[in-house]
């Protein structure tokens, strides 16, 4: 199975969706082609091919009404219900038509007026069924997943078409076209169960709270504004022209195909059989083409693809012109028809979507639907008019084909013009914003090879807006070209250091070698260390003579920046032929590690990049470094060095780690790969919830479905059961009535609940849908009871893994019970058992459990709790988690100042944030004239000294104990700054405190005024 996934480019989470929806696409493909081949044979044989243009004209006028009616219905019911109704209506309509056909056949009646109705309704089913299938696939799949699974769905639909061709060819001669038609809705009905199951599993969760989305949606622009915007845009007008001409030419070729076939096969059964043979050949070709379609699209790009399609349209008509009046007319027309059918429906339609990528999101769908409706109606009218030149105007087949060839030339020219306009739109989008440009990156790179876009981007290197220059540089980096060296370097010289770095990275290596020594030296001696590092890195990877490289290495070794020295060491180690690290390089690396800080970070980047295992224990020692940047670098380096020992040490580093370190450890463990699996499997038994969550996260990302089911599902089920015990434990503490401890217990319980459920739901995503599963969770945890019930109902269906779904459902039901009332028999149940150290320490403090002495092995938790109870009441820290409170308590030093003693004096350095526990502190100071004033008197739970966290200037005020001893908690500014970086909520609290202080000073100024 994994081999098949690799061949198809699928991920494990795609497999279930492919199995479920793939069958629907296959059966829909069978039904669509059975319907199409049989109704066309019936209409052409019994009513007449000459009336095809008239029917297309009628359809052209009905299409806008059809679109309006479907839009009206879709707005009055949910999307899943509307899609189900559409699918069921296709089955019912074809069943009704089939019953009438069999009725006429049984009675011998021939109701000619029925055949136009059959044509209109059957064409409606074919058209809307195709749209329904593709829209369902896109609605059920996130964008990136859609790119992976759509080729499989297309292939299944193509195989269905082949099967339909075989059935038509076998059944038509013996049973007749009526039986082939009736078989279509029967086959379509077979897919109804899986279609509904797909909607229920993947689409319904996304529509649980559609009303909320509707409330926040912007008001839709008017239809007039869509028309106005389209008429003002040469790009969109050209796009509509292409979207009109392509189907018009297809309908013209289709008329020639049906007319030629009718002339050769007078018998209805033979005609149906021939259509079946053509379907087989057509869809076999489509299947083979599908195997290379994605590579072809990637190579040409969407805009170039349209030019290629237009050229093949011209080739098809050229073949027909050459042979239409000969005995080879039918084969020639069949080839032209097959080419146009394949290209229009499997390549041109997806490529058309690029026209709308340039539009603002809130206008995109409106203009798209308007443009497509105009193009469809106009295309049918033009195609019908061209067809009537033969049926009504007396123009021969050759003349009609020649007109088609002429229009194909016009289509080719229009596609070429559209490509140029498209490139201009992409370049113009750079000025709209960086985010939009990144969204269009795939299309940009698809057109980059043509040169025009590259030239336009090069011109934008001189744009006055630096953000535009930066995006242009990033895009040019994907197509390095030595000829752009001068433009990039000129851009670098006139930009900020950040953009200068990006520009230097975009320079082609051979471009660096073409520079004069003085020009290179300009960047090698730049004032910014990162610029110098990039310049050295690029030069040292070029094919420059060895002597020059040695000179650059010596120059880099003498640079004061650790980042530049690291580049020199990297070049020295990578070039060295011996297996052992160069002794001097090794000495430099150890010296940099000992220096710590930025030097240690740079050294570890070299060690990790070169996989220098001999430095394993040197790096390991840096895990205990108090500086977050060094610790994080050590974690990443251990991940690159790999091995089971590294995985064990990283798991140990998780215990008590901050958020940044935990995230780095998770990535490092994922980099280690298979060697980390035994360690991670053992970590699933860890009593530390964050360690367990990291193990689950890494294993769920990197292992197959079988391993996930064996390792993670049982562990998640056990943790959900333990989570119920955690809830009971928190309730036990709350029953004691000690509010301060109950509050901390509730905080910790909620934190554990969040950690555990995040991990469990991440596993659920592996067996469900990456969009639907989060929506189901959101619904189950919604405050509205009706929304919760809907989410629970979906979960009860066995979403994803049945065991995990059942365990989750049981937990949420228990959780809801605990919110409102104690569970029956809860008070008499056995005492809950938990392994979380914080909850155990809180229970001891709250006297919910005996034996503080027996718990002294967790003394660090007990000693921090009293501070945490107090800090929780300080406005500065009221909104942070228990874990964050624990970190603040760990760096808070308790001090006592006697009455009249100064905590800080004006003019002296203020290096700490101070929180008053007991007593009062007066803040006062003198101005430049020597006049003394009081800022205010601060009491318990108030803080001062926040400015010490942001600058090193002397204190502007004095702080003095007033009337009595003062007990405070002091937090050193450097330590607090680290916490602010790791935990943004603490920073928000500081901003709130600073804002309050500013308002106090403003009021004081107003009073003095």
Instruction: Output the CA torsion 709→711→712→713 (10° steps).
Output: 50
* Within a domain: 161: yes
pLDDT of residue 100: 92
Indicate the helix (H) or strand (E) that contains 236.
helix 234-264
Domain count for the chain: 5
Indicate the DSSP class of residue 540. H
Other C-beta atoms closer than 10 Å to the C-beta of 523 total 23
Asked whether residue 882 falls in the same domain as residue 994, the answer is yes
Q: Which of 679, 703, 727 is the last residue of a domain?
A: 703
Asked whether residue 200 falls in the same domain as residue 245, the answer is no
Indicate the DSSP class of residue 201. I
Q: Which of 209, 236, 251 is the last residue of a domain?
A: 209
Asked whether residue 899 falls in the same domain as residue 834, the answer is no
Confirm if 597 and 612 have CB atoms less than 8 A apart. no
The residues near 431 (Cβ < 8 Å, ≥ 6 apart) are 463, 465, 468
Distance, C-alpha 585 to centroid of its chain: 42
Sign of CA dihedral 248, 249, 252, 254: negative
CATH number of domain containing 50 = 1.20.1250.20
* Within a domain: 756: yes
Residues 828, 243: Cα–Cα separation, whole Å? 74
SS (H, E, C) 5-26: HHHHCCCHHHHHHHHHHHHHHH
* Within a domain: 534: no
pLDDT of residue 430: 47
pLDDT of residue 420: 75
* Within a domain: 596: no
Confirm if 438 and 364 have CB atoms less than 8 A apart. no
Asked whether residue 683 falls in the same domain as residue 780, the answer is no
Confirm if 91 and 122 have CB atoms less than 8 A apart. no
pLDDT of residue 850: 56
pLDDT of residue 345: 65
Name the residue range of residue 306's domain: 222-429
How many residues are recorded in the chain? 1009
Asked whether residue 853 falls in the same domain as residue 966, the answer is no
**Residue bearing tokens 């007033």:** 962
CATH number of domain containing 948 = 2.60.120.10
Confirm if 675 and 642 have CB atoms less than 8 A apart. yes
Asked whether residue 382 falls in the same domain as residue 294, the answer is yes
* Within a domain: 603: no
* Within a domain: 100: yes
Asked whether residue 148 falls in the same domain as residue 248, the answer is no
Asked whether residue 764 falls in the same domain as residue 784, the answer is yes
Smallest CA-to-CA distance from 150 within 128, 161, 135 is with: 135
First to last CA, the chain: 80
718: its two tokens: 């056990």
pLDDT of residue 447: 47
Residues 850, 840: Cα–Cα separation, whole Å? 10
Asked whether residue 981 falls in the same domain as residue 966, the answer is yes
Indicate the DSSP class of residue 545. -
Residues 690, 835: Cα–Cα separation, whole Å? 13
Sign of CA dihedral 653, 656, 660, 662: positive
Q: Which of 857, 886, 908 is the last residue of a domain?
A: 857
**How far are the Cα atoms of 100, 438, 902, 919, 980 from residue 178, in angstroms, in the given order?**
9, 53, 102, 96, 75
Rounded to 5°, the CA angle 447-452-455 comes to 115
Asked whether residue 230 falls in the same domain as residue 240, the answer is yes
Asked whether residue 820 falls in the same domain as residue 951, the answer is no
Residues 280, 135: Cα–Cα separation, whole Å? 26
Residues 381, 159: Cα–Cα separation, whole Å? 32
pLDDT of residue 695: 92
All residue ranges of the chain with pLDDT < 70 are 1-13, 75, 142-147, 206-227, 290-303, 345-370, 372, 423-453, 574-582, 798, 818-831, 848-864, 947-952, 981-985, 989, 993-1009
* Within a domain: 566: no
pLDDT of residue 314: 92
Asked whether residue 895 falls in the same domain as residue 821, the answer is no
Sign of CA dihedral 337, 342, 343, 345: positive
pLDDT of residue 407: 93
* Within a domain: 862: no
Helix (H, G, I), strand (E, B) or coil at 925: strand
Helix (H, G, I), strand (E, B) or coil at 922: strand
pTM of the complete model beyond 0.75: no
Other C-beta atoms closer than 10 Å to the C-beta of 611 total 11
793: its two tokens: 């109902």
- Phi/psi class of residue 642: alpha, beta or left (left: φ > 0; alpha: ψ in -120 to 50)? left
């Amino acid at each position: 199975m994994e081999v098949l996934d690799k061949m198809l480019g699928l991920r494990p989470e795609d497999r279930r969706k492919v199995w479920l929806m793939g069958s629907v696409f296959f059966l829909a493909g069978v039904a669509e082609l059975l319907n199409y081949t049989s109704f066309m044979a019936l209409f052409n044989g019994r009513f007449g091919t000459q009336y095809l243009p008239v029917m297309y004209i009628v359809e052209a006028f009905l299409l806008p009404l059809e679109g309006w009616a479907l839009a009206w219905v879709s707005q009055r019911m949910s999307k899943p219900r509307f899609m189900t109704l559409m699918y069921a209506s296709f089955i019912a309509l074809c069943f009704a038509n089939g019953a009438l056909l069999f009725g006429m056949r049984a009675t011998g009646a021939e109701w000619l007026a029925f055949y136009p109705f059959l044509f209109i309704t059957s064409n409606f089913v074919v058209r809307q069924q195709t749209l329904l299938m593709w829209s369902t696939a896109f609605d059920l799949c996130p964008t990136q997943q859609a790119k992976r699974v759509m080729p499989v769905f297309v292939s299944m639909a193509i195989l269905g078409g082949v099967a339909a061709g075989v059935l038509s060819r076998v059944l038509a001669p013996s049973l007749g076209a009526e039986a082939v038609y009736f078989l279509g809705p029967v086959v379509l009905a077979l897919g109804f169960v899986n279609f509904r199951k797909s909607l229920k599993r993947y689409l319904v969760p996304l529509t649980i709270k559609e009303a909320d989305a509707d409330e926040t949606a912007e008001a839709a622009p008017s239809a007039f504004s869509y028309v106005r915007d389209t008429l003002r845009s040469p790009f969109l007008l050209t796009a509509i022209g292409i979207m009109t001409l392509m189907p018009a030419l297809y309908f013209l070729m289709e008329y020639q195909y049906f007319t030629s076939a009718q002339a050769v096969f007078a018998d209805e059964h033979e005609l149906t059989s021939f259509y079946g043979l053509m379907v087989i050949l057509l869809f076999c070709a489509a299947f083979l083409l599908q195997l290379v379609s994605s590579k072809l699209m990637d190579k040409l790009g969407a805009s170039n693809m349209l030019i290629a399609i237009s050229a093949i349209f011209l080739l098809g008509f050229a073949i027909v012109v050459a042979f239409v009046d000969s005995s080879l007319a039918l084969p020639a027309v069949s080839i032209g028809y097959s080419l146009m059918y394949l290209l229009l429906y499997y390549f041109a339609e997806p490529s058309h979507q690029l026209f709308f990528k340039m539009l603002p999101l809130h206008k995109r769908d409106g203009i798209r639907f308007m443009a497509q409706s105009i193009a469809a109606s106009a295309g049918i009218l033009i195609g019908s008019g061209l067809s009537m030149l033969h049926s009504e105007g007396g123009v021969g087949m050759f003349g009609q084909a020649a007109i088609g060839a002429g229009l194909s030339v016009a289509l080719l020219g229009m596609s070429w013009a559209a490509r140029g306009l498209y490139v201009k739109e992409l370049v113009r989008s750079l000025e709209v914003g960086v985010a939009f440009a990144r969204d269009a990156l795939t299309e940009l790179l698809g057109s980059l090879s043509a040169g025009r876009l590259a030239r336009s981007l090069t011109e934008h290197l001189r744009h006055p807006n630096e953000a535009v220059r930066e995006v242009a540089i990033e895009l040019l980096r994907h197509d390095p070209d030595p000829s752009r060296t001068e433009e990039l370097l000129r851009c670098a010289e006139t930009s900020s250091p950040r953009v200068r770095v990006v520009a230097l990275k975009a320079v082609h290596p051979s471009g660096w070698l073409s520079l004069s020594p003085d020009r290179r030296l300009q960047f090698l001696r730049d004032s910014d260390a990162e610029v110098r590092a990039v310049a050295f890195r690029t030069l040292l990877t070029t094919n420059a003579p060895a002597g020059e490289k040695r000179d650059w290495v010596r120059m880099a070794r003498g640079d004061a920046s650790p980042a530049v020295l690291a580049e020199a060491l990297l070049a020295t180690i990578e070039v060295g032929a011996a297996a052992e690290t160069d002794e001097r390089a090794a000495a430099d690396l150890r010296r940099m590690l000992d220096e710590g800080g930025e030097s240690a970070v740079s050294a570890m980047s070299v060690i990790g990049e070169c996989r220098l295992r001999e430095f394993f224990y040197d790096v390991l020692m840096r895990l205990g470094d108090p500086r977050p940047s060094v610790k994080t670098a050590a974690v990443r380096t251990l991940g690159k060095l790999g091995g089971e020992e590294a995985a064990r040490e990283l798991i140990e580093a998780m215990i008590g780690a901050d958020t940044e370190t935990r995230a780095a450890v998770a990535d490092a463990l994922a980099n280690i790969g298979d060697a980390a699996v035994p360690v991670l499997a053992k970590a699933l038994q860890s009593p530390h919830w964050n360690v367990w969550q990291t193990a689950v996260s890494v294993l769920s990302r990197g292992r197959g479905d079988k391993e996930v089911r064996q390792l993670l599902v049982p562990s998640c089920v056990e943790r959900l059961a333990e989570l119920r015990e955690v809830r009971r434990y928190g309730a036990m503490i709350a029953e004691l009535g000690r509010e301060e401890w109950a509050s901390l217990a509730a905080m910790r319980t909620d934190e554990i609940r969040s950690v555990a459920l995040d991990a469990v739901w991440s596993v659920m995503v592996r067996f469900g849908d990456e969009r639907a599963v989060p929506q189901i969770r959101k619904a189950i945890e919604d405050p509205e009871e009706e929304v919760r019930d809907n989410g629970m109902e979906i979960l009860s269906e066995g979403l994803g893994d049945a065991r995990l779904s059942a365990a989750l459902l049981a937990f949420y039901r228990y959780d809801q019970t605990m919110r409102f009332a104690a569970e029956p028999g809860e008070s008499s149940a056995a005492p809950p058992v938990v392994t979380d150290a914080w909850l155990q320490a809180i229970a001891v403090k709250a006297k919910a459990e005996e034996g503080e002495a027996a718990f002294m092995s967790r003394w660090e938790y007990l000693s921090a709790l009293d501070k945490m109870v107090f800090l929780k009441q300080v406005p500065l820290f009221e909104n942070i988690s228990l874990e964050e409170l624990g970190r603040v308590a760990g760096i808070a030093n308790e001090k006592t100042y006697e009455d009249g003693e100064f905590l800080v004096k004006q003019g002296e350095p203020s290096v700490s944030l101070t929180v008053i526990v007991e007593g009062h502190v007066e803040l006062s100071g003198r101005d430049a004239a020597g006049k003394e004033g009081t800022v205010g008197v601060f009491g318990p739970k108030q803080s001062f000294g926040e400015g010490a966290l942001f600058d090193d200037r002397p204190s502007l005020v004095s702080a003095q104990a007033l009337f009595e001893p003062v007990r405070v908690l002091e937090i050193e500014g450097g330590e607090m700054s680290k916490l602010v970086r790791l935990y943004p909520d603490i920073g928000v609290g500081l901003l709130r405190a600073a804002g309050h202080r500013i308002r106090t000073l403003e009021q004081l100024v107003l009073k003095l005024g």
